[in-house]
Structure 1
Amino acid sequence: MNRREFCRSIAAGAALAACGGCDQTGGTLGRLQSVWSRRGLVDGRLWRPRAMDVDADGLVYIVDFTARIQVFTPEGEFVRGWQTPDYKNGKPTGVTIADDRLLVADTHYFRVLSYALDGTLMEDETIGGTEGHGPGEFGFVTDAVRDASGAMYVAEYGDYDRIQKFAPDGEFILQWGSHGVEPGQFVRPQNLFVDPQDRIWVCDACNHRMQVFDTEGELLFMWGEEGAAPGQLSYPYDIAMDESGNVILIEHGGNRLQVFTEQGEPLGWWGRAGRAEGELDRPWALARDHKGLVHVLDTYNHRVQTITI
């Protein structure tokens, strides 16, 4: 079993057991607003959805295990959809909306695809496509984001576990990170987030922690420890932030959403393991819209749960 498979097996086991020691009320915050979609292959249904983001109008963009990208209203009504160019080798695991583009982490093709929000593939904006450890080459890409200057940051795992930075025109600038548990190292950097101060937040998933860097890759601070108790983390997979700077995390292994101050002080949680409304099964992602709605991608329940915090 290689490192990637080991990490996945641990996450799957944790997903079934992590809430055994949690308060079974399902959390201390969050109000469920709606539950939408269900398992299926037709338009409007989901099959193990893996990543999501929202645009300025509140439309929700989701990629699932069939390599479909689907767009929904905040209430879950299907708007449009399309398929990524290739998917026999594997499916995308990350999407981010930046500068009127949908950036898709085409994980097993070692690249970042760029789409107009109507689904038009901008082929001249694709970054990567070659497996390797050189500048502009990638392992398994998990996410891509842009800072205020338009520079792009791309996370990858596999043999590399690093972040690469590119200029707005796609030219390689720098990289940082390696595989490991020391500060500045990663074990599956799953998702990225750029805050209003242009700090780069990294969900260091298999190290069960958050690491925060400046735009030159210098580590500013980090927090998090493995566990199922409130304030501990079990495979943090995605991140959002509210207007107060509070950090909202989804835990793939913990089957819950947690909210922290930016310094890592816990403020509360929502969710627990299960299939009923308000329960989660190995969630991969979340997205917060301009109205404060938080959409949670309940992956193995093949649905979205929308809450307010």
Structure 2
Amino acid sequence: MGLAARRRGGGRAMTGERPAGDLRFTASDTWAQVPPEFAYRDVAAVDVAADDDVYLLTRDRNGVLVLDSAGGFRAAWGDGIFTTPHGLTLAPDGTVYCVDCGDHSIRRFTPDGELIQTIGTPGSATDTGYRPGPGAVVHANETVRRAAGPFNGCTNLAIAPTGELYVSDGYGNCRVHRFTADGELIGSWGAVGFGPGEFRLPHGICATADGRILVGDRENDRIQVFDLDGTYMTEWTDVQRPTDLAVDRDGLIYVAELWRPRGNASFTRGTTSVDLPGRVTVFDPRGTVVARWGASTVMRDGLGNFVAPHGIAVDSHGSVYVGEVTGSFGIKPGRVPDSMAGHLLQKFTRTT
């Protein structure tokens, strides 16, 4: 299937010829050749190595799968280590950071799965007042009463050009934590709320080559932009529930955006009277929308459409990988039928 994403925002991805200058992709959801014994129900995160091998952080088996760029199976490791695997980031040296929001820790592995470092204390959450449970109006994150140190439901990790680590934290907190490359805490920023530098579920994070930290403030429906010291610079609001962010070779920022079902609420936009399906949006470095696809209520599991986009990555050729948490977000709560269980990973091969 061919996709051409409009370079001027608003429209969803479409088939057929588009004007010159468009970003064009060919979509596939049968690209990954995963043996049956490594089947999974969610792809929580995805990243791409320097050689374009693709690393998937999966749930059910709760482990890491490694594929080559053609989708061929290379390796599997990590089963039984994680509680709720959530984020995965590859370092320039090839090591793999896995963020576990269920046990409030980050683990660093060699490319073949040997554990070499743990940041945080597995199973120990800092005290923010967070009390997940039924009755939330928008999200359980609304029970967070105060900011705290690392970690309470940490979500994702970015590596800056300096080598320092930045962690979004997360489900039970409202902070970004900055660490040395060796994992020593330098400082933190963030508070509960919707003002500049405040968060309601900082969920995705990336670092740009020019030294900016972009944070997907999921339940505030925005991306906040900071310098490396945590000073607020600006925000981009033409997004819905940003879950993950990735930067390509040209400095374009790709954002995975989660479905907001009709009747659900946002901290900043109130209750939606229409269904707002998942989608991918591409921004230029200034925050202008240059492409968008998905966002269709018809055939959510069709090529180029999404149930629950949660992880996103771009390879050296500009091809885009989107992982979805269809099992936990779509099927388990009854939002989509069991027949959509296989709609978990799409590759959008860049053709222009």
The answer, yes or no, to whether TM exceeds 0.5 is: yes
Residue of structure 1 equivalent to 2:203: 190
Closer, same or farther: CA 251–91 of 1 in aligned 2, 3 Å: same
The answer to whether the 8 A contact 1:159-1:179 is kept is: no
In the TM superposition, 1:240-259 aligns within 5 A as 240-253=246-259, 254-259=277-282
Cα offset, 1:38, TM superposition: 7.7
How big is the shift at 1:297? 1.5
Q: How far does the alpha carbon of each residue in 1:184-210 deviate from its partner, in whole angstroms, 9 at most, with x for none?
A: 011111111111112111111111111
Q: Does 1:289 align with 2:315?
A: yes
Shift of 1:85: 4.6
Determine if contact 1:135/1:172 at 8 Å carries over to the other structure.
no
Q: Supply the distance in 2 between the matched residues of 1:278 and 1:137 (Cα, whole angstroms).
A: 36
Tell me if structure 2 keeps the 8 A contact 1:286–1:295.
yes
How far residue 120 of structure 1 moved from its aligned partner, in angstroms, is 1.0
The one of 53, 71, 88 aligned to 1:95: 88
User: For residue 200 of structure 1, what is the aligned residue in structure 2?
Assistant: 213
Shift of 1:80: 0.3
SS of structure 2 residue aligned to 1:292: coil
- CA distance in structure 2 between the aligned counterparts of 1:127 and 1:24, rounded to whole angstroms: 39
Name the CA distance, whole Å, in 2 between partners of 1:214 and 1:84: 36
Mark the CA change 1:139 to 1:260 in structure 2 (over 3 Å): closer, same or farther. Answer: same
Match status 1:221 vs 2:234: yes
Within 2, Cα distance between the matches of 1:141 and 1:84? 20
1:57 aligns with 2:51: yes
Larger Rg: 2
The answer for the alignment partner of 1:269 in structure 2 is: 292
**Matched residues, percent identical?**
27
Q: Does 1:48 align with 2:56?
A: no
Which of 27, 30, 38 is the aligned partner of 1:36?
30
Query: Does 2:72 correspond to 1:77?
Result: yes
Please identify runs of 4+ aligned residues in structure 1 that moved more than 3 A: 21-30, 37-46, 84-87, 133-137
Task: State the alpha-carbon separation in 2 of the partners of residues 306 and 43 from structure 1.
Answer: 26
Question: Structure 1 residues 242, 201: closer, same or farther in 2, change over 3 A?
Answer: same
Residue-by-residue CA offset, 1:58-99 (whole Å, 9 max, x unaligned): 011111122121011122211101125544xx4111000013
1:127 counterpart = 2:123:
no
- Gaps of at least 5 residues in structure 2 are 1-9, 128-146, 260-276, 327-342
C-alpha displacement of 1:128: 0.2
Q: Which runs of 5+ in 1 are unaligned?
A: 1-20, 225-231
Counterpart in 2 of 1:305? 347
Give a deviation string over 1:117-176, Cα, whole Å, max 9, x none: 111111xx2100131159763100101122223221111123421011112222211100
Q: Residues 207 and 307 (structure 1 numbering): CA distance in 2 closer, same or farther, change over 3 Å? A: farther
SS of structure 2 residue aligned to 1:50: strand
RMSD over equivalenced CA pairs, Å: 2.5
1:252-272 per-residue CA deviation (whole Å, 9 max, x = no partner) reads 124221112222221121224
TM-score, scaled to structure 2:
0.72
Q: TM-score, length-normalised on structure 1?
A: 0.82
Counterpart residue type for residue 71 of structure 2: G
In structure 1, C-alpha distance between the alignment counterparts of 2:69 and 2:37, rounded to whole Å:
16
For residues 174 and 104 of structure 2, what CA distance do their matches in structure 1 show?
13
Counterpart of 2:52, as a letter, is G
**Greater share of residues in helix:** 1
8 Å CA contact 2:77–2:112 kept in 1: the answer is no
Q: Quote the residue 2:191 is aligned against.
A: 178
The letter of the residue matching 1:252 is L
Q: CA 1:45–1:180 in structure 2 vs 1: closer, same or farther (change >3 Å)?
A: same
> Is residue 67–residue 75 contact of structure 2 (8 Å, CA) maintained in 1?
yes
8 Å contact kept, 2:283–2:290: yes
Contact 1:39 1:45 in 2 (8 A): no
Output the CA distance in 1 between the equivalents of 2:52 and 2:25.
19
How far apart are 1:33 and its partner, in Å? 4.2
Mapped partners of 2:317, 2:70: distance in 1: 13
Shift of 1:43: 4.4
How far residue 40 of structure 1 moved from its aligned partner, in angstroms, is 8.7
- Between the aligned partners of 2:257 and 2:125, the Cα distance in structure 1 is 29
Equivalent residues, number: 278
Aligned to 1:154: 167
